[in-house]
Structure 1
Amino acid sequence: MTILGTYKCTARCENCCFDSNPFLTERLSLPEILQFIQEAAELPTCKMVVFSGGECFLLGDDLVTAVAYATSLGMITRCVTNGFWAKHPEHGRTRLEPLVRAGLKELNLSTGDYHQRWVSQDTVVNAACLATDFGLPTVIMVELQRERRVTAADIAGDPRMAGRLKRDNPSLRILESPWMPMDHNDIIEQSENRMLSQRTLHMRGGCTSVLNTVVITPHRRFGFCCGLSREKIPELNADWAPGTFNDLVEAGNADFMKIWLWVDGPDRILAWAATKDSRIEWENRYSHHCQTCLALFSDQYIRDVIREHYRERVQDVLFRYTMRLREQQGFDTHLAP
């Protein structure tokens, strides 16, 4: 489960999935956050709580309390942050240490060309170094696009990072992920092998977020995935109120479209839809599966094809869904169709 306690952020990145900025004020109260954690913990398969945003560190002491509560319920906790709090290492240590004492187990840092207009690379490296000093598994996620200034190699080349990476430290990783626009008609240029096409379709698979992750937003909305485009897809959201968690999970697990996304993923569904309507343009338009998903739910041609022809796929998809569930270690019957 992911808790988006606030969409307020110290940065204002272009193409931010939540249009986060420093001027937003709505947020979840601490009792609401704890209630959501409690309801999630009652689901046997819910093992991790991710605190993100916006900028989760802006929750202040409430974040520490929430991490401690999730830990007390036996759940693993992770924070996703831009690292702004580590501009000065001593201040960063003061901010991170209470979270570690509360049981925080992982830290993810977001950076890249867009983020570094607001939070410097030096600050991000400070945060990563502090996290590894505390023994936290740490991931730095770097925005990927064809033309860019910031790369994973640049960050790895920082002497402080290089020293830690040379220790063959498996708990410190630097990854890259395509930066995507929040309009399915827009394109952020990526290398050819990153773009969805007939040539790359075989490398695309089922969505690993839908049916595996749920979200609570500052607007008390329940998300059925933690995808970057979820906020812009009404079908992937519902209203949450205390006591409704389990009912919402069951409703999601009974939704064929979500099952289909989990089995085949949005890229393969889109390619299939294009075989039914030649007006659907898809090759070399999408690099991130969340942008493809946004197209599935936003493009009227695609919506029409799915509405008119999805029954052709039901038997096959549900069969493969059942087989995959049976193959999974620790299969839980609450997911059965």
Structure 2
Amino acid sequence: MFIRPHSLAIITTHQCTAACDHCCFTCSPYVTKSLRYERMEQLIDEAAQIPSLCVISFTGGECFLLGDKLDALISRASGYGLVTRCVTNGYWAVTPKAAEQRVAKLVKAGLKEINFSTGTFHSRYIPVQRVINAACACVQAGLTTLINIEICNESDFKPELITEHPVLAEYIANRSLTVQRSVWIEAEGISPVTHPEEHSRFNPDRKSGCQTILNVLAVTPDEHLVACCGLHLERIPDLHLGSVSQKSIRQVLDEAPDDFLKIWIHVEGPERILEFVKRYVPDYELPVHSAHPCETCLRLHKDKVARTVIREHYREVEDEVVSLYLAGMASNALNTAVLRQYQGQQTLATDEA
């Protein structure tokens, strides 16, 4: 398969300390499916052999359930010069002191970035104060820190708990902390999830190519290599490139056939592809309620009408789309080379110090 991924997301487990309604992976404390620790070590080794790959992300479920093994994995990836990131709900930051102690171990292991998830659904299980404790400790330790607040019409979460917090507000102002608000999308759950019309992915200013597919690979607890780390990756079999239970990441990539639809999604996004479908089926109903590209992507892959039109007419746009994709790959290759050079200089400076 002709791709140059820059990141690998290791979905360490589907077990989580929360059981959020509409969780994209249906995670909970009672779902114990996980990657074997030894396999995660091997995945890091394999990722380090892919020249374009710069970032390893540990996610879940809740990756901090690994305990000290998470630190060891971070250290292993950092030893290859890879940027390491964790995605967590912050359950472990019970007190400011507990947060500082845990973060100190992460920094020692070489962690560079950390993303926290909170909002209406998460805060039912993880008090927002724990996210605040964790974020404060991470910023103070020099980690690139992001808090992602889920949003929907039904949300009763008060974002000012974060944005107007006396310490966090200062971090936000000086850009040492990023707060992002992302739509919470419908999966398996009982709570209603809706969004205002201005969040529709079919609004002109909201349509874009997908920068995740083909750029960010993921390995699931079932040891499947997936062509993106999107929220519905478990529900779209066509995104699965193959099993890495008996093969390396590189082997699966080399054996996976090139797929124009993935390239098209990367370049133009699923919304524009469905609009392409509507040109040939004028009464085709676009999912204008979709507020997240992963929602639209799920519809694109599951809809028989859309798949039929794409199969019959994709060659009309194939040359243009592939040319744009190749141009983007060339640009990404240059950016990767610059990043690798910078990382090498930083490692050298650290060694000399």
TM-score for both structures, normalised by structure 2: 0.87
Distance in 2 (CA, whole Å) between partners of 1:246 and 1:279 is: 43
Deviation at 1:312, TM superposition (A): 2.2
Deviations 1:83-114 (A, max 9, x none): 00012222223322211100000110001111
Structure 1 residue aligned with 2:219: 216
- Shift, 1:165, TM fit: 3.1
Summarize the Cα distance change of 1:244–1:280 in structure 2 as closer, same or farther, 3 Å threshold: farther
2:31 maps to 1:24: yes
Calculate percent identity across the aligned residue pairs: 36
Is the 2:149–2:180 contact (alpha carbons within 8 Å) kept by the matching residues of 1?
A: yes
Structure 2 residue runs of 5 or longer lacking an equivalent are 1-7, 337-353
User: RMSD of the TM alignment (CA)?
Assistant: 2.1
Q: Is the 8 A contact 1:213 1:224 kept in 2?
A: yes
Matched, 1:316 2:303: no
Which residues in structure 2 correspond to 1:84-99 (within 5 Å)?
A: 84-99=91-106
Of the two structures, which has the highest relative contact order with CA contacts closer than 8 Å and spacing of 6 or more? 2
Q: 3-state SS of the aligned residue for 1:86?
A: coil
Please say if residues 120 and 157 of structure 2, whose CA atoms lie closer than 8 Å, have aligned partners that are also in contact: yes
The aligned residue for residue 73 of structure 1 is 80
Change beyond 3 A, Cα 1:253–1:188: farther
Aligned counterpart for 1:280 among listed residues 284, 299, 309: 284
**Aligned length, in residue pairs:** 327
TM-score normalised by the chain length of structure 1: 0.91
Task: Report deviation, 1:265.
Answer: 1.0
Distance apart, 1:18 and its partner CA = 0.3
Could you tell me which amino acid in structure 2 is paired with residue 268 of structure 1?
Answer: R
Instruction: Tell me the equivalent position of 2:345.
Output: none
Correspondence 1:39-50 to 2 at 5 A: 39-50=46-57
1:323 deviation in Å? Answer: 2.9
State the 1:132 CA deviation: 1.0
Q: Which residue of 2 aligns with 1:289?
A: 293
Structure 2 residue 260 is the aligned partner of structure 1 residue 256: yes
Q: Deviations over 1:220-277 (max 9, x none)?
A: 1111101101110001112113543113334557221111111111111111112222
Once residues 296 and 269 of structure 2 are traced to their aligned partners in structure 1, the CA distance between those partners, rounded to angstroms, is: 9
Aligned CA distance change for structure 1 residues 325 and 253 (closer, same or farther; 3 Å) = farther
Q: Check conservation: 2:154, 2:192, Cα contact below 8 A.
A: no
Say which of 62, 67, 85 aligns to 1:55: 62
1:298 pairs with one of 297, 302, 325? 302
- In structure 1, the gaps of 5 or more residues are 333-337
Distance 2:332 2:221 in 1: 33
Residues 1:141 and 2:148 are matched in the alignment: yes
Aligned residue for 1:165, secondary structure, equals helix
Secondary structure in 1 aligned to 2:92? helix
SS at structure 2 position matched to 1:313 = helix
Structure 1 residue 316: Cα displacement: 2.0
User: SS at 1:159's partner residue?
Assistant: coil
In structure 1, give the amino acid aligned to 2:179: I
User: 2:168, 2:177 within 8 Å by CA — same for their partners in 1?
Assistant: no
Q: Which amino acid aligns with 2:300?
A: L
Does 2:197 correspond to 1:192? yes
Is structure 2 residue 183 aligned with structure 1 residue 178?
yes
- Partner residue, 2:348: none
Residues 165 and 319 of structure 1, relative CA distance in 2, 3 Å threshold: closer
SS of structure 1 residue aligned to 2:99? helix
Counterparts of 2:208 and 2:254, CA distance in 1: 24
The answer on whether the counterparts of 1:139 and 1:174 sit within 8 Å (CA) in structure 2 is yes
Give 3-state SS (helix, strand or coil) of 1:9's partner. Answer: coil
CA drift at 1:290:
0.5
